[in-house]
Structure 1
Amino acid sequence: MTTRKTNRLSALQRLARGLLLGTAAALSLAGAASAAGELNVFNWGEYINPEVLKAFEAETGIKVNLSTYSSNEEMLAKVQGGTTGYDIVFPSVWMQDIMAKLDLLEKTDINRYEGFKNIDPAFLRAKSDPQGEYCLPYAWGTVGIVYNKKVLGKDITGWNDLLATVKEKGLKIGLLDDMREVISVGLILNGKDVNTTDPNDLTQAAETVIAMKPVVSAFSYDTRPMVMAGELAAAHAFVGAMIDVFANPDLEGYVIPEEGATMYQEDICVLKTSPNKDNARKFLEFYTKPEIVALNIAQQTNGTANVPARTMTPPQIAESKEINPPEDVMKRLQIFSDLGQAVRLYDRTWTKIKTAE
């Protein structure tokens, strides 16, 4: 899932950031160094606008140290392995539930903070934290298809449309090198739940994906540049691909498949082992500010649970149905949950898909 987190700044993002930097500058002038010490942030690679961290430092006087990881599993392994010093992490909601079971998360009572009123309750998705007593919703997005309009010669509506077009024209596509996302394509195309534990559903999903393999050039997180260059007609992609679309609207498009799609959401959580819990809580409070969330979104092109922030982002983002899908599209989105021991069924299904000729 690395590529979702490694969005590159396009000309649009640099412009949007410039428009919003005044916010950070104002905070720098208004915010006295009311606190001291450090905050050790452990996040996905490039999954936060550096200007947000600078604004936090300016307002609080707290020095931020940023470390990164490339997957939920890597983050959990380091936290469980005794790596010390991290204060806050950004798990996907299903990983947050796992970490809650392992008693790794600190109760912050962020839901009692005044700024929490800005959070859309629909994004309190963690089963272990339905009231938001532990973690703060951070960012969310969809997993769809980024495509080259000139290579395909058309806009597409979803997987079936894409597959029919590339087969007819002898073109190639890319799929993510991600077990659950790829299996979910097969499940969704067969009308199944992406969290199913039924072996028959998984067998059917595997057969569907394997049937796609003749037009699949690669399983990779790094296919976006290949789509832009025309080497691939389209690729399975996270909504961060909207950066490319905004920069090249005549060349590229991004679609949430009409058949349905997955969505992701990460939350900001404080670790029980955090050496700087007070500073960590300050960051959660800071990130309830709409202007700060908007500053982040302008560079990240993710969706947000912070309702006022949605109207403060650049028009291309605020008005984008890909980043902020309408209600009828939201109903077609599914989010992963913790599979427990059933993850072994998915492991076997993934091996079957990857090794099939």
Structure 2
Amino acid sequence: MTLKDWLLTAGLAVLAGPALADGELHIYTWGNYTNPTLIDRFEEAHGVRVTITDYDSSDTAIARIRQGGHGFDIVVPAAVVTPVWIEEGLLLETNPAEMENFIHVDERFRSPSFDPERRYTVPWLWGSTGVTVNTSAYDGDINTSAIFLDPPSELRGRVNVVPELADILFLAIRYVGGDWCTDDRDVLRATHQALLAAKEHWISIDYGSLDSMVGEDLLATVTWNGAALRMRAANPDLHYGYPREGYPLWMDSVAVLADASNVDNARLFMNFVMDPENAALITAFAGYANSITGSEAYLPEELLNAPEIIIPDDLVEAGELMLICDPAVMDLYARMWMEVMQ
């Protein structure tokens, strides 16, 4: 699936006559990803006290839930791993299509391949993985994965890479001419060699690159488009590139955990985030696109035209929704990634 199937739409309307519920709701989600105003509105509308606990990777999240005894009600899994959550019985079948606000979900997002017919999840945000470059240090083409796989001399030694197996391997495999989920040994050998050769030019493999990019300790980083938008807001020399060799699109969704203690409140939250006005709050905070029609009416003007969200026409086709590969292929990728990370 290419970005042609993934259009930024939005719209917002407040919940009419909200149902009130007592108690608590415990959300387990990515760090710095939830608008406090959204939570305040939900608490006020439904009389529910919300707590949020952060995680920094999909592996961290699923490992903690597998252990049990976590006390969480809601999780926000990425599309690439959502089938694993479902197959392992970690999510509750909530049938969001029966919820009042499901009518606001854009038709393109109503039955995604990672959760057909939306039996378990509702949309949160979606976006892309690319590169951010300090264009005061480098004025060449930034729409390429060469920024981190064969860095120009101006950037070498000041490049960061996020420690995300799927995102980095997707970019690297496409850079050497392969397709995501390939098990072609020649492609994988070329990918492995490209990563090992590039690593000597990286200064870090870290999530927290925003401050270092803004302060210009780093000159380039692999990152997500919403983070790139926040970087540019703090330093106008920082620009986001969409690798023309191919880049992944991703989507995060809200799901209720199978062992949740506050299921009714979790369902209320799922319905709440599909309201257009609330979806706009989510986008405005994180800087990523949502899939709720009508939310654009509530978005800040700068987000409607942000280059980190509106992909250039000539780079649209290079985007592809990243889904999980067969277990045998993912095992190959994991072993390759472990060697790169050593």
TM-score range, shorter chain: 0.7 to 0.9
| Partner Cα separation in structure 1 for residue 297 and residue 124 of structure 2 | 17
| Partner Cα separation in structure 2 for residue 96 and residue 164 of structure 1 | 32
* Deviation for aligned residue 1:145: 0.9
Given residue 60 of structure 1, which amino acid in structure 2 is its aligned partner?
Answer: H
Which residue number in structure 2 is paired with residue 105 of structure 1?
91
Q: Is the 8 A contact 1:303 1:324 kept in 2?
A: no
Q: How many residues in Structure 1 have an aligned counterpart in Structure 2?
A: 329
Which residue number in structure 2 is paired with residue 157 of structure 1?
143
Q: 1:318 aligns with which of 304, 312, 324?
A: 304
**What TM-score does the superposition give when structure 2 sets the normalisation length?**
0.86
Which residue number in structure 2 is paired with residue 120 of structure 1?
106
| Partner Cα separation in structure 1 for residue 176 and residue 18 of structure 2 | 57
Which residue number in structure 1 is paired with residue 9 of structure 2?
none
- SS in structure 2 opposite 1:166? coil
Task: Tell me if 1:242 matches 2:244.
Answer: no
Task: Tell me if 1:345 matches 2:332.
Answer: yes
| Partner Cα separation in structure 2 for residue 327 and residue 252 of structure 1 | 21
* Deviation for aligned residue 1:214: 3.8
* Deviation for aligned residue 1:136: 0.1
- SS in structure 1 opposite 2:254? strand
1:273-292 equivalences under 5 Å are 273-292=259-278
* Deviation for aligned residue 1:109: 1.7
Relative CO higher for 1 or 2, CA cutoff 8 Å, sep ≥ 6? 2
Q: 1:66 aligns with which of 52, 75, 92?
A: 52
Task: Tell me if 1:210 matches 2:196.
Answer: yes
| Partner Cα separation in structure 1 for residue 117 and residue 309 of structure 2 | 25
* Deviation for aligned residue 1:70: 1.7
In 2 relative to 1, CA 168–63 (structure 1 residues): closer, same or farther, beyond 3 Å?
Answer: closer
Residues 216-254 of structure 1: per-residue CA shift (max 9 Å, x gap): 2222223333332333321111112211112322x2111
* Deviation for aligned residue 1:154: 5.1
Q: Is the 8 A contact 1:167 1:215 kept in 2?
A: no
For the aligned residue pairs, the C-alpha RMSD in angstroms reads 2.6
| Partner Cα separation in structure 1 for residue 216 and residue 77 of structure 2 | 34
* Deviation for aligned residue 1:327: 6.3
Residues 115-147 of structure 1: per-residue CA shift (max 9 Å, x gap): 212212333575352111221011111111111
Structure 2: gaps spanning 5 or more residues: 1-11
**What TM-score does the superposition give when structure 1 sets the normalisation length?**
0.83
Residues 71-92 of structure 1: per-residue CA shift (max 9 Å, x gap): 2222212222112432111011
Instruction: Give the share of equivalent positions with the same residue, in percent.
Output: 26
Structure 1 runs of 4+ with >4 Å offset: 30-33, 161-165, 168-171
Q: Is the 8 A contact 1:139 1:265 kept in 2?
A: yes
Which residue number in structure 2 is paired with residue 43 of structure 1?
29
- SS in structure 2 opposite 1:236? strand
Which residue number in structure 2 is paired with residue 141 of structure 1?
127
